[in-house]
Amino acid sequence: MTKIRQIFLQIPSLKRKWEQFLHQQGLTSFSEAEVTNLDFTLGLYEGQKLLGTGSISDNVLKFIAVIPGELSATYFNQIVSALQSYLVQNGQTHMMVFTKPQYEASFNYVGFKTLTKTIQGCLLESGNPGIQQYFKNLPNVSNQNQHQVAAVVVNANPFTMGHRYLIEKAAQENEIVDVFVLSANHSLFTSDERFHLVKLGVADFKNVRVFPGGSYLVSYATFPAYFIVSKDNVIRYQTTLDAQLFRDQIAPVLNIKRRYLGDEPFSHTTNIYNQTLKAVLPPKIQVVIIPRLQQGNQIVTATAVRQAIAHQEITMVKDFLPEITYQFIQDHQSELLERIGKGVNISGN
Partner 1 sequence: MEIKKTVIAGTLESSDIQITLSPATGDNLEIELESDVLNQFGNQIKKVITETLQKFQITKVHVKAIDQGALDCVIRARTITAVQRALGQTEPAWEEL
Give the three-state DSSP class for 2: strand
Smallest separation, CB 175 to partner 1 (Å): 30
Q: Does 310 bind partner 1 (CB under 8 A)?
A: no
- Residue span binding partner 1 (CB under 8 A) among the ranges 46-54, 104-112, 160-168, 330-338: 104-112
Q: How many other C-beta atoms can be found within 10 angstroms of the C-beta atom of residue 315?
A: 10
| Candidate residues 25, 31, 72, 74; the one interacting with partner 1 per rule CB under 8 A | 74
* CA distance linking residue 181 with residue 239, whole number of Å: 17
Give the DSSP letter of residue 218: S
**Cβ partners under 8 Å of residue 143, min gap 6:** none
Q: Does 111 bind partner 1 (CB under 8 A)?
A: yes
Q: Does 93 bind partner 1 (CB under 8 A)?
A: yes
- Among 166, 162, 175, 167, smallest CA distance to 256 is for 175
* CA distance linking residue 32 with residue 272, whole number of Å: 22
Nearer of residues 24 and 90 to partner 1, judged by Cβ: 90
**Cβ partners under 8 Å of residue 248, min gap 6:** 116
Number of residues that bind partner 1 (CB under 8 A): 16
| Candidate residues 53, 59, 78, 219; the one interacting with partner 1 per rule CB under 8 A | 78
- Residue span binding partner 1 (CB under 8 A) among the ranges 32-40, 80-88, 146-154, 330-338: 80-88
Nearer of residues 78 and 219 to partner 1, judged by Cβ: 78
Give the sheet arrangement for strand 122-127, strand by strand.
Answer: 2-6, 40-46, 49-57, 60-66, 94-99, 122-127, 113-117
CB 113 within 8 A of CB 245: no
User: Angle 268-280/232-245 helices, nearest 10 degrees?
Assistant: 40
- Residue span binding partner 1 (CB under 8 A) among the ranges 106-114, 140-148, 204-212, 326-334: 106-114
- Among 192, 186, 247, 164, smallest CA distance to 34 is for 186
Q: Does 114 bind partner 1 (CB under 8 A)?
A: no
Nearer of residues 127 and 147 to partner 1, judged by Cβ: 127
Smallest separation, CB 104 to partner 1 (Å): 15
Amino acid at 143: N
Nearer of residues 11 and 73 to partner 1, judged by Cβ: 73
Phi/psi of residue 50, nearest 5 degrees: -80, 125
Nearer of residues 108 and 295 to partner 1, judged by Cβ: 108
Nearer of residues 18 and 107 to partner 1, judged by Cβ: 107
CB 47 within 8 A of CB 83: no
Smallest separation, CB 217 to partner 1 (Å): 22
Smallest separation, CB 94 to partner 1 (Å): 8
Give the DSSP letter of residue 6: E
Q: Does 72 bind partner 1 (CB under 8 A)?
A: no
128 to 187, contacts with partner 1 by CB under 8 A? 128, 132
Q: Does 99 bind partner 1 (CB under 8 A)?
A: no
Site string for partner 1, 33-52 (x = CB under 8 A): --------------------
As a whole number of Å, the CA-based R_g of the chain is: 21
Q: Which residues bind partner 1 (CB under 8 A)?
A: 74, 77-78, 80-82, 84-85, 88, 93, 109-111, 127-128, 132
